[in-house]
Structure 1
Amino acid sequence: MVFYLVNQFNPNLDLTTILKTIQIKRSTYYYWLKIKDKLKEKEEKYFLQEKRIEALCLHHQYFYGHRKITDLYQKTFNEFITKKKVYLIMKKNNICCCLRPKKNFTYRNLTNNLQIIPNLINQDFMATKPLQKIFTDITYFKTNQGFFVGDY
Structure 2
Amino acid sequence: MEEYKKIYPVSVILDCFGVKRSTFYRWKARGEKLEKRDEVVEKIEQLCMEHHFIYGYRTITRLLKKIHGLIVNCKKVYRIMKENSWLCRARPKKMPNIGQPYYVTENKLERDF
Task: Identify if the C-alpha distance between structure 1 residues 66 and 106 changes in structure 2 by more than 3 Å, giving closer, same or farther.
Answer: same
- Larger fraction in helix: 2
1:118-133 equivalence runs, <5 A? 118-125=106-113
- Deviation string 1:17-57 (CA, Å, 9 cap, x unpaired) is 543343335xx27x73xx84x65554333222111111222
1:63 aligns with 2:54: yes
1:106-117 equivalence runs, <5 A? 106=97
1:24 partner letter: V
1:76 aligns with 2:67: yes
List 4+ stretches of structure 1 deviating above 6 A. 107-111
1:133-144 equivalence runs, <5 A? none
Match in the other structure for 2:89: 98
- Larger fraction in strand: 1
Distance (whole Å) between structure 2 residues aligned to residue 118 and residue 97 of structure 1: 45
SS for the counterpart of 2:62 is helix
Distance (whole Å) between structure 1 residues aligned to residue 12 and residue 32 of structure 2: 31
Distance (whole Å) between structure 2 residues aligned to residue 61 and residue 103 of structure 1: 24
Normalised TM-score (structure 2): 0.61
Distance (whole Å) between structure 2 residues aligned to residue 60 and residue 75 of structure 1: 15
Larger gyration radius, structure 1 or structure 2: 1
1:62 partner letter: F
Structure 1: which 5+ runs fail to align?
126-152
1:20 aligns with 2:15: yes
2:83 partner letter: K
2:107 partner letter: N
Aligned residue pair count: 109
Distance (whole Å) between structure 1 residues aligned to residue 50 and residue 96 of structure 2: 30
Normalised TM-score (structure 1): 0.49
Q: Give me the CA root mean square deviation.
A: 3.8
